[in-house]
Amino acid sequence: MRARGVELDTVYLDLLAPAARHLGDLWTNDVCHFADVTIGLCRLQQVLRDFSPAFLRESSIRDDGRRALLMSVPGGQHTFGTHMVAEFFRRARWDVTTGAPVARDELIRIVRSQWFSIVGLSVSCEVQIDMLVKTIRLIRRASRNQAVGILVGGPVFIAHPEMVALVGADATAADGRQAPVQAENLLALIAKQS
């Protein structure tokens, strides 16, 4: 695809993201074993890492407080989507912190010790919604930034965007390309309210 001139945005959003969702569906429907899905996702992660320098080539981090923490909800195991969204934030010149899923106490320690303008949480299934609601409340109480914006993402919010307000978040995005745009809009709204 790259040799044919297909843009990396398209490769990420129209090939890698659907492939990751398909692997998840294969596992959920008991068509593939967990190990096979894990190997497939590792290969997708490698493709993402391999293309990252080219994807980010035109960006540089701004020193204007645009800091985002992007994580899976505590207890979540899926990180591919979070890493892809982080690529789009970096390309939009955000300072991004992301990592492996952590316990809720560790996540709260991170937002208490570091300043973030946005915290983005990914949810892979509805079972994680209760944990998400509790986590968002704790983040808002503990955050060094009392006006922190909360973005949520994942299949649950693509299917039911109205759930954003129900879980206590501020916004969601349909895909990685829209996530930094929504974050910028959210920051502009927060600035107006201040």
pLDDT tens digits, one per residue of 119-169: 999 998 888 899 999 999 999 999 999 999 999 998 889 889 899 999 999
> For residues 94 and 41, which has the higher predicted lDDT (pLDDT)?
94
Q: What is the mean pLDDT of the chain?
A: 86
- What pLDDT is stored for residue 88 in this prediction? 93
Cα angle 89-177-18, degrees, rounded to a multiple of 5: 115
Strand partners, 171: 151
DSSP sequence for 77-122: ---HHHHHHHHHHHHTT-EEEE-S---HHHHHHHHHHS--SEEEEE
Yes or no: say if 20 and 42 are a contact pair by the CB < 8 Å rule. no
- CATH superfamily, domain 67-193, is Cobalamin-binding domain (3.40.50.280)
What's the one-letter identity of residue 81?
Answer: G
- What pLDDT is stored for residue 59 in this prediction? 57
- d(CA 64, CA 27) in angstroms, rounded, equals 42
Domain regions of the chain by residue span: 8-56, 67-193
